[in-house]
Amino acid sequence: MSIKETFIRLKNKGEGALISYIMGGDPRPDLTIKIAKALIESGSDILELGIPFSDPIADGPTIQAANLRALKSGITPIRVLEMVNQIKDYHKIPIVILTYYNIIFRAGLENFFDKANKSKVDGIIVPDLPVEEAQDYKLIANKHGIDTIFLASPSTSTNRLRKILDYTSGFLYIVSLFGVTGARKKLKRSTIHLIEKISSYTKGKIPLAVGFGISQPYQVKSIIEAGADGAIVGSSFVKIIEESIHDENKMLNNIRRYTNELKRATIFEDVKSLSQ
């Protein structure tokens, strides 16, 4: 099922999407597969899998530490792509790769997208690729049938947002606040205003998903009610992995419980409210 089809299916059911992020290879490749299965079986609608990078400029301390653990485990970009194929053998939900542009550039755009397509990757997020420099990237991604998911932030101007929307497919990733990734206990009112503002441009065109700082079920519920089609949660999952790194059963049980709590928060009591 494609990313687009997943959002349509969820909307018809009266649900927002729970998009769950983990780092490929953290804490070791075989456990990444088990973690992915736990996330999917407990309610994640889309899986976001990170390719570790030595200089992850968009990430806070929690995901930076995951980068280091994954790199020490011997993971490579190709191995992360192979993981997508392995996970797809069990579950057909969309899987999105998050990577930095240098990894794609070094592999070669055509080569990278060819391998991603063969691994059944549904979409790619590249936080450090400006839309102004993405023409070749977009053309090659389209050729291989892979969604290009771009980011918009609180500082994105209206004119730039329109250009981003021309290049984005799958969903638009809204960075909810200034700064790097990392769980926050409170949801700023400015985030709600940002969703309301940007959803006026995306409604009926492309799903809108919100990430950065989302960690609590009430935050998920709030952003869905404000007009977002999905919530992206990453650092909190990575933190569970870090805190239970020597107890696999505890880790997987905590991930299942937390995923279930977050997924319940995406469900609308009244399906009609989605079409208003």
Q: Annotated active-site positions, please?
A: 48, 59
- Nearest of 14, 122, 137, 26 to residue 73 by alpha carbon: 26
Strands (E), 180-264: 208-211, 230-233
Query: Longest C-alpha distance within the chain, in Å?
Result: 49
Alpha-carbon distance 119 to 243, whole Å? 30
Q: Using an 8 Å Cβ cutoff, are 117 and 146 in contact?
A: yes
Alpha-carbon distance 226 to 193, whole Å? 8
Alpha-carbon distance 214 to 210, whole Å? 8
**Per-residue buried b or exposed e for 187-206, using 16+ beta carbons within 10 Å of the residue's own CB:** beeebbebbeebbebbeeeb
Residue type, 101: Y
Alpha-carbon distance 160 to 163, whole Å? 5
